[in-house]
């Protein structure tokens, strides 16, 4: 009987110990879940990329009092060879903005300003056989600066965000034009214009703490710029005569971006 009681007591003590250990394990706090990224906050950053313009589609008009220069007949014979440009170049600058995350959706606004080398200059040679006069015709266009103010709407997948964007765009465009058949019929001119229009595109960002790195595509359209060529020297053999070219200023940009977001709460841990 004593041996039976001792064995029973040993068995019970082991069962109670196991139950207590099991309860201790169950009483532990659960491990924290994976951190959830939060895109809310002000940010500032930079960008660098490549831009290429669409066809400038030049339209050339002229003023020729009394037909002294003969633009009408020369162009009618096929002498208008002013080139259609396809500008390209490097573009880069900075941006500042704000994101507001609501569940998985991210809304925001951003303003940016970039310096640009997107441009082109081409000289064409025209020599209509019926006229027998050779001319050298040059057009150039360069986007010096580009800025935008845009809204953003995206979807966040933790620390990855995909978004669309669109809004107002503005920029400074420089153009030049020459028409040269030798003295005295030499016309030249330059212009600098601030143009405005729109920009839209898509992008994606990857967040690491307060930093994010991304790729963005933008299309911009600033309408048409113009440049007028006058006789050189001014008031020469053909006073009052002129040539004017209007050109489209539009293109596409692909660029890398980086941003630093201010304020606490860049990463929120859930438990």
Clarify whether residues 19 and 84 are in a common domain.
no
Clarify whether residues 162 and 201 are in a common domain.
yes
Confidence (pLDDT) at 201: 98
| Contact (CB, 8 A) for 161 and 106 | yes
CB atoms within 10 A of CB 181: 19
Nearest Cα residue to 145 out of 207, 86, 193, 75: 193
Clarify whether residues 75 and 119 are in a common domain.
yes
Confidence (pLDDT) at 235: 65
HEC readout, 122-191: EEEEECCCCCCCCEEEEEEEEEEEEEEEEEEEEEEECCEEEEEEEEEEEEEEEEEEEEECCCCCEEEEEE
CA atoms within 13 A on the CB side of 54: 13
| Contact (CB, 8 A) for 238 and 69 | yes
Sign of CA dihedral 6, 10, 15, 19: positive
**239 vs 48, more confident:** 48
Clarify whether residues 11 and 103 are in a common domain.
no
Going by C-beta distance under 8 Å and a sequence separation of 6 or more, which residues neighbour residue 255? 47, 48, 49, 50, 91, 92, 215, 216, 218
Clarify whether residues 150 and 214 are in a common domain.
yes
Question: Average pLDDT over the chain, rounded to whole?
Answer: 87
Clarify whether residues 11 and 54 are in a common domain.
no
Nearest Cα residue to 57 out of 169, 139, 153, 179: 139
Q: Which domain holds residue 8?
A: 1-30
Q: What is the C-alpha to C-alpha distance for residues 82 and 179, in angstroms, rounded to an integer?
A: 9
Clarify whether residues 150 and 127 are in a common domain.
yes
CATH of the domain at 199: 2.40.160.20
Rounded mean pLDDT, 8-33: 47
Q: Worst-scoring range by mean pLDDT, 80-84, 132-136, 170-174, 192-196?
A: 132-136
Number of domains in the chain: 2
Cα angle 47, 247, 125; round to 5:
115
3-state secondary structure of 8: helix
Sign of CA dihedral 153, 157, 158, 159: negative
Q: In this predicted model, what pLDDT tens digit does every residue of 186-198 receive, in sequence order?
A: 999 999 999 999 9
Clarify whether residues 131 and 25 are in a common domain.
no
pTM: 0.82
| Contact (CB, 8 A) for 139 and 176 | yes
Nearest Cα residue to 232 out of 176, 172, 173, 175: 176
- Is the pLDDT assigned to residue 60 strictly greater than 80? yes
User: What's the distance, CA 145 to chain centroid?
Assistant: 12
Clarify whether residues 117 and 251 are in a common domain.
yes
Clarify whether residues 157 and 214 are in a common domain.
yes
Clarify whether residues 99 and 209 are in a common domain.
yes
Clarify whether residues 14 and 68 are in a common domain.
no
């Amino acid at each position: 009987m004593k041996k039976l009681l001792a064995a029973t007591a040993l068995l019970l003590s082991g069962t109670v110990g196991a139950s207590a250990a099991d309860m201790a394990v169950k009483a532990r706090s659960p491990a924290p879940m994976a951190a959830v990224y939060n895109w809310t906050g002000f940010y500032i950053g930079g960008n660098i990329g490549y831009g290429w313009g669409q066809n400038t589609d030049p339209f050339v008009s002229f003023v020729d009092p009394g037909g002294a220069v003969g633009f009408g007949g020369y162009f009618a014979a096929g002498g208008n060879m002013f080139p259609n440009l396809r500008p390209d170049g490097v573009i880069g600058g900075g941006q500042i903005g704000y994101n507001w995350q609501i569940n998985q959706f991210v809304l925001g606004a951003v303003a940016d300003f970039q310096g640009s080398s997107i441009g082109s200059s081409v000289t064409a040679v025209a020599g209509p056989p019926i006229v027998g006069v050779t001319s050298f015709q040059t057009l150039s266009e360069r986007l010096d600066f580009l800025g935008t103010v845009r809204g953003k709407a995206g979807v966040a997948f933790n620390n990855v965000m995909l978004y669309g964007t669109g809004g107002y765009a503005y920029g400074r465009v420089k153009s030049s034009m020459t028409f040269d058949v030798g003295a005295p019929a030499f016309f030249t001119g330059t212009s600098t214009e601030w143009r405005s229009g729109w920009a839209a595109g898509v992008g994606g960002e990857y967040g690491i703490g307060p930093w994010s790195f991304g790729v963005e595509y933008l299309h911009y359209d600033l309408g048409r710029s113009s440049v007028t060529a006058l006789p050189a020297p001014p008031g020469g053999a053909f006073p009052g005569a002129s040539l004017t070219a209007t050109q489209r200023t539009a293109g596409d940009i692909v660029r890398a971006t980086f941003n630093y977001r201010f304020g606490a709460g860049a990463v929120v841990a859930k438990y």
